Amino acid sequence: MNDLRELYQEVILDHSRNPRHFREMPEANRHADGHNPLCGDRVTVYLHLAGDVIEDVSFKGAGCSISTASASMMADALRGKSVDEVRALFDRFHDLVTSDPSHAADQLDASSELGKLAVFSGVCEFPMRVKCASLPWHTMKAALEGAARASTE
Amino acid sequence: MSAQPDSIRTPEALDVAAVRREFPLLQTTVHGKPLVYLDSAASAQKPQVVIDAERDVYERYYSNIHRGVHQLSVLATDAYERARARVQRFLGAREAREILFVRGATEAINLVAQTYGRRNVGAGDEVLITGLEHHSNIVPWQMLCEEKGATLKVAPIDDAGVVDMAAFEGLLGPRTRIVSVSHVSNALGTINPVERMTERAHAAGAVIVIDGAQAAPHLAIDVERIGCDFYAFSGHKVYGPSGVGALYGRAALLEAMPPWQGGGDMISSVTFEKSTWAELPHKFEAGTPNVAGTIALAVAIEWLEGLGLEAVAAHEDELLAYGTELLSAIPGLRLVGTAPDKAGVLSFVLDGVHPHDIGTILDYEGVAIRTGHHCAQPVMDRYGIPATARASLACFNTREDLDALARGIGKVQEMFK
């Protein structure tokens, strides 16, 4: 179960059981719906942008523990960040979960800014679950860019 | 293997240990654990004899078919047409020309929709399916209905996953042109009363298409007894290669239908002004088919029939009963699809755990199941769930496989408690 514990770290399990920022946001000025047609996971990400800064983030939806925890921790991480910072974080998170597992440690070193999000480093060992972790991020990016929809396909 | 009391009704019980030895993949490990393969409803593993058959074609007599005068083409054509005769007997069809080789059940249904359907369905007409269908028995009809201005009607299912026959009959009307139903539901395992459905469809003046993809590995099929007009199945679910399957069609209907794809092998003559069509079944088989795969499909069917279809069904029914009892006893687990008449499928959800997480953790125990919507999103919607975990049974499964599944579910619950 060692490898499995790398995927299902306690922090991830905790966020999946008790997701933070799990609510609709009527005052949101950006939102997008994300869908993974392969597994049916759905997430809606709400953003409240004040100028260049993300003042608030929330999400709703139904998904597996990885996508729920990813959305929850993403929302934690994005609050108060500028759009540029968010874009940079998106790229680093994307690199982390899609990296070649044999180079995962390098990614982790290079991504110290990821902070708590580094717990998702185990995901790259599970190719079938990468999209679970990245769906909320793609959806957030779509919301940021004014697209209504994001899909993992 | 000693005969078990509940297998007395079959002449010879299945020797599962011997069957298992025939599957190279069942001898392998996954994440260091012996593979427990419970995903045959997605695709079955292949016995050595099928793997060998395909290689044998390429090593000994491969050639294109229905074309050359040389020796190899004669041998390959002969083996290909013997495969057709084998499928004919497997389905209980009257004539070999009623068997069309296609890529699989999906292509078979699309063929009917695009040929029979386009010719016979018009504006205001209706196509009737059930709430149990796989996307491959929904989308081709939606496409047809959209093109023709026809309406797709859906007979609902009850909480157990059984088609409401009163509603089914109520939805049949003077405008119903085509009824298309699964023989066995892939998501829930429900066996549909296809003989009765056929009788009612015919009484309403409609033709009936039966999607047998999930039935062919589990039930003895007899299209003449059912009385259906079309019957589709996929090779890969009956232990044969992927990418080959067959469509049975009543000869009179097939003869009246326009061809589907144009090309070589499906013509009688071609000039730039006009072409005429070949006789059945070639009219529907344009292009070079999967020659070796089709021959290997016949070997798979022969192998399955050699085990004894009744013995296989009895074995799988016993496993289904055992698995149902085993899983029902797990707190927090709910079986989805509890029809009294079922084959080969245990679909379930666990409190507080998404099916994908179940699938990943079971995989680490060497247990392969399918998780997701099973290409049957409307079935999931019916139960208000995004997905299920589905364990499906084959002739090579054992009680030990189901015990491993139950132990794995215990680990899932441990992780997510």
pLDDT digits (tens, 9 = 90+) for B77-109: 999 999 999 999 999 999 999 999 999 999 999
Note whether B360 contacts A42, CB cutoff 8 Å.
Answer: no
Which residues of B are part of the catalytic machinery?
A: 375
Nearest to B364 among A1, A129, A132 (CB): A1
Q: What CATH number is given to the structural domain containing B380?
A: 3.90.1150.10
Note whether B216 and B101 are same-domain residues: yes
Residue where a domain stops, chosen among B275, B305, B335: B305
List the single range of A88-92, A116-120, B263-267 with lowest mean pLDDT: B263-267
Considering the domain architecture, whether residues B257 and B334 belong to the same structural domain is answered as no
What SS3 class is residue B211? strand
Domain boundary among B305, B335, B362: B305
Interface predicted TM-score (ipTM) of this complex, two decimals: 0.87
CA nearest B219: which of B395, B61, B2? B395
The predicted model gives B253-258 an average pLDDT of 96
**Looking at the complex, does the CB of residue A50 fall below 8 Å from at least one CB of chain B?**
no
For residue B333, the SS3 value is strand
pLDDT for B67 beyond 90: no
- CA A51 → CA A55, A58, A80, A85, distances in Å? 9, 18, 11, 14
Mean pLDDT estimate for chain A: 89
Contact B364 A64 (CB under 8 A): no
Report chain B's C-alpha Rg in angstroms.
22
CATH number at residue B176: 3.40.640.10
Distance from CA of B249 to the nearest CA of A (A): 33
**Neighbour-count burial of B272, counting CB atoms closer than 10 A to its CB (0-12 exposed, 13-18 middle, 19+ buried):** exposed
User: Are residues B83 and B136 both part of a single domain?
Assistant: yes
Q: Which of A103, B74, A63 is nearest to A95 (CA)?
A: A103
d(Cα B112, Cα A44) in Å, to the nearest integer? 39
Residue B361 belongs to a domain: yes
How many A×B Cβ pairs under 8 Å? 51
Q: Which domain covers residue B337, as residue numbers?
A: 5-30+308-415
Asked if the Cβ–Cβ distance from A13 to B373 is below 8 Å, we say: no
Task: Say whether both B238 and B323 belong to one domain.
Answer: no
Closest partner CB to B387 (pick from A1, A39, A132): A39
Instruction: Tell me, yes or no, whether B42 lies in a domain.
Output: no
Per-residue pLDDT tens digits for B385-394: 989 999 999 9
| Number of Cβ within a 10 Å radius of residue A102 | 8
Q: What is the number of domains present in chain B?
A: 2
What average pLDDT does this structure show over B259-271? 89
Q: Are residues B314 and B288 in the same domain?
A: no
B320 and B285, same domain (yes or no) = no
Q: B362 and B226: one domain?
A: no
Q: Touching check for A71 and chain B: CB below 8 Å?
A: no
Q: Does B238 reside within a domain?
A: yes
Which one of B349, B354, B388, B417 would you mutate to disrupt binding with A, by most A Cβ within 10 Å of its Cβ?
B354
Do B79 and B147 fall into the same domain?
A: yes
CB contact under 8 A, A126 and B360: yes
Residues in chain A with CB shorter than 8 Å from the CB of B31 are 3
**Position B35 in a domain:** no
Distance from the Cα of A33 to chain B's closest Cα (Å) equals 16
CA dihedral sign of residues B65, B66, B67, B72: positive
Q: Say whether both B350 and B246 belong to one domain.
A: no
Q: How far apart are CA B116 and CA B155, in angstroms?
A: 22
Predicted pLDDT at B7: 45
Confidence of residue A3 (pLDDT cuts 50, 70, 90): confident
Whether residue A40 and residue B360 make contact (CB cut-off 8 A), yes or no, is: no
Q: Which residues of A touch B373 (CB under 8 A)?
A: 39-40
Quick one: pLDDT at residue B5?
A: 47
Residues 6+ apart with CB under 8 A from B201: B128, B172, B176, B179, B207, B208
Residues B336 and B258 in one domain: no
* Rounded average pLDDT over B349-367: 95
Does residue B43 form part of some domain? no
Using the Cβ of A69 and the Cβ atoms of chain B, whether some distance falls under 8 Å is answered with no
Averaged pLDDT, B156-178: 98
The confidence band for A146, taking pLDDT boundaries of 50, 70 and 90, is confident
pLDDT exceeds cutoff 70 at B50: yes
Tell whether B135 lies on the interface with A, counting CB pairs under 8 A: no
Q: Is residue B110 part of a domain?
A: yes
**Shared-domain flag, residues B200 and B68:** yes
List the structure tokens of B7. 């297998």
- Whether A41 has a pLDDT exceeding 80, the answer reads yes
**How high is the pLDDT of residue B10?**
45
- Asked if residue A103 has pLDDT above 90, the reply is no
B333 and B259 within one domain:
no
pLDDT digits (tens, 9 = 90+) for B9-37: 445 789 999 999 999 999 999 999 999 99
The pLDDT assigned to B27 comes to: 97
Whether residue B41 is contained in a domain is answered as no
DSSP state of A143: H
Residue B381, chain A, CB below 8 Å: the answer is no
The pLDDT tens digits for B181-222 are: 999 999 999 999 999 999 999 999 999 999 999 999 999 999
Domains of chain A, start order? 2-147 (3.90.1010.10)
Contacts of B355 in chain A (CB under 8 A): 64
The answer as to whether B44 is a domain residue is no
Domain boundary among B305, B329, B349: B305
pTM: 0.92
